[in-house]
Structure 1
Amino acid sequence: MFAYLARLTLLLALASGLSAGVNAQQKPNPMGSPNEFVQQVADQVLTALKADTAARSGDIKRINQIVDEMILPYVNFEKTTRLAAGRNWREATADQKTALSAAFRGTLARTYSGAFTKVNDSTSIKTLPFRGDANANDVVVKSLVTQRANSQPFSLDYRLEKTPQGWKIYDINVENVWLIENYRNQFTQQINQNGIDGLIAALNQRAQ
């Protein structure tokens, strides 16, 4: 299970931050089309990683900064956490909801950063043509991720919601497994054993 999650979050990081460098200097526009928005986030992060000597050398502190500045603002961690917690979210206190969202955000953010230390120049992503309803407020953007030259690409889908601030990513699908669904199983097991506070403690413990 943990091996799968490591692979899944690696692909999430790659898909959120890597692509062929078209329009690399364009700042992401969350109010634009979902496909263009995802591509712009990818181009921006790739440009930053390639231009930063410390990041290229694997400096995790610098990679953390790039992740914080260029990826996390476009992810709706509260919604991801709420959906992963399922019915248990309704039973949590306001303080527990805040703490759980922060712990889960930290877990995913650190995994993003760790994944970026493994990126090589051959890693690429191709966002596929958008085929959904252009006026919808909840959409799926599909892409293919290639980790090495001549290797078989992985399918990777993003689920995004249109908010007053624009598009926010809140779930991903790696080869027919949605991140929220996968974490929901873990969350439920941990909550059943140790309660919501136990889940928060477990997520924070992984960060140490």
Structure 2
Amino acid sequence: MFFITGLFILAMGNAYAQHTVNPRAEPNAFIEAVGNNALEAVRRDPAAKQGDTRRINELVDQYLLPYVNFEKTTRLAAGQGWRTATEQQRHELVEAFKGTLIRTYAGALADVDKIAALNLLPFRGDSKAKDVVVRSYFSQRNGPQVNVDYRMESTPEGWKIYDLNVEGIWLIQNYRNQFAQQIRQNGVDGLIAALNQKNR
């Protein structure tokens, strides 16, 4: 369970309340607002809860994409391969990786009702820094808590999430080794083709 799962778990926290998301708010307040606004849409959408990839894509685009830097996530996961890729390859790789994450973790949405609450831990560090980590855990109705940390960067548009730590495993590091091996064997086009093959 990694990026998309963690982002949707973010959207399953507290009781729904409509808030204007302020990307320049304090880091914890930003995460809480994104979660609260996405909650009702996720819980009320039968198609998403059944793992409908098309519907999940729509929800990601509407509630999460404005606050996530998928390009940076992909760039850091691809490493050297990103630096040697063309602009077209980079675009295709971002889209393929996003599709892979959504497809891989779509089934997690079936468990949204098991999440009891999103609990934000006290923020550590300088909230005015350019790169911060927001720590949280999710209590479940009949299960252990799940620890999720969000790494964010400050951009001209405000905070953007670009990495996720679920139970001690960072998303980017987890995929970096897989991507490096694929790129060594088949190049960037080979990695894109492999991701798209799995997305069909």
- TM-score in terms of structure 1 length: 0.86
- Contact 1:159–1:172 at 8 Å: present in 2 too? yes
- Secondary structure at the aligned position of 1:156 is classed as strand
Distance 2:52 2:178 in 1: 31
Residues 1:17 and 2:20 aligned together:
no
> Could you tell me how far 1:52 is from its partner in structure 2?
4.0
Distance 2:187 2:92 in 1: 13
| Counterpart in the other structure of 1:82 | 75
Residue identity matched to 1:202:
A
Residues 1:120 and 2:113 aligned together:
yes
Residue identity matched to 1:75:
V
| Counterpart in the other structure of 1:170 | 162
- Contact 1:64–1:110 at 8 Å: present in 2 too? no
| Counterpart in the other structure of 1:26 | 19
| Percent of residue pairs identical | 52
- Contact 2:119–2:136 at 8 Å: present in 1 too? yes
Residue identity matched to 2:41:
A
Distance 1:201 1:160 in 2: 29
> Could you tell me how far 1:10 is from its partner in structure 2?
6.1
Distance 2:84 2:146 in 1: 37
Residues 1:197 and 2:186 aligned together:
no
| Counterpart in the other structure of 1:8 | 2
Check 1:27–1:117 CA distance in 2 against 1; reply closer, same or farther (3 A cut). Answer: farther
> Could you tell me how far 1:8 is from its partner in structure 2?
2.6
- Secondary structure at the aligned position of 2:136 is classed as strand
Distance 1:56 1:86 in 2: 34
Structure 2 unaligned runs (5+)? Answer: none
> Could you tell me how far 1:151 is from its partner in structure 2?
2.2
> Could you tell me how far 1:54 is from its partner in structure 2?
4.8
1:141 pairs with 127, 131, 134, which one? 134
Check 1:97–1:176 CA distance in 2 against 1; reply closer, same or farther (3 A cut). Answer: same
Check 1:9–1:171 CA distance in 2 against 1; reply closer, same or farther (3 A cut). Answer: closer
Distance 1:102 1:56 in 2: 23
2:174 pairs with 182, 198, 204, which one? 182
Q: In terms of mean alpha carbon deviation, does 180-189 or 88-97 score higher?
A: 88-97
- Contact 1:11–1:145 at 8 Å: present in 2 too? no
